[in-house]
A = this chain, B = another copy of it.
């Protein structure tokens, strides 16, 4: 892949993240994107909490899936669609606040299946709060 091609793909990923309504409603932004790699950032706010003040268990899979999906989009090219088939997430430490980074990476991308992983850590302390893996199917664009 030429640098030009990579840049076109990364531009696709950036636009995807900027125009996804879900990203906006969740407060997620794309912090970084490279070849087979994408990082999402989300600042924990009141809207992410449960009634007991702990971040809802659904917030971490959301940014995990987003980071893995975008990591795959950096290699899939414009117009492609990334479908999640399965995600497995381990919650290592509860989250109560701060800013989270979800660091997604392509593990293997094959003809039929693609595999990715992600680590979610606190931006300030670097502590890892969750890790996830996923199986994906990519439908090529035009």
Q: Which A residues are within 8 Å of any B CB, using their own CB? A: 15-17, 19-26, 46-52, 54-59, 61-66, 69, 81, 83-94, 107-108, 112-113, 115, 117, 128, 131, 133, 135, 137
Which 4 A-B pairs rank lowest in CB-CB distance, beginning with the nearest? A58-B62, A61-B61, A57-B65, A25-B47
Number of copies of this protein chain within its complex: 4
Contact partners of A85 in chain B: CB under 8 A: 85-86, 90-91, 113, 135
In the complex, residue of chain B having the shortest beta-carbon distance to the beta carbon of A141: B52
CB nearest to A55 among chain B residues: B22
- Report B-chain residues with C-beta under 8 Å of the C-beta of A86: 85-86, 88-91, 135
Closest to A58 in B: B62
Known: A19-B51, A133-B131. A91 touches B81 (CB 8 A): no
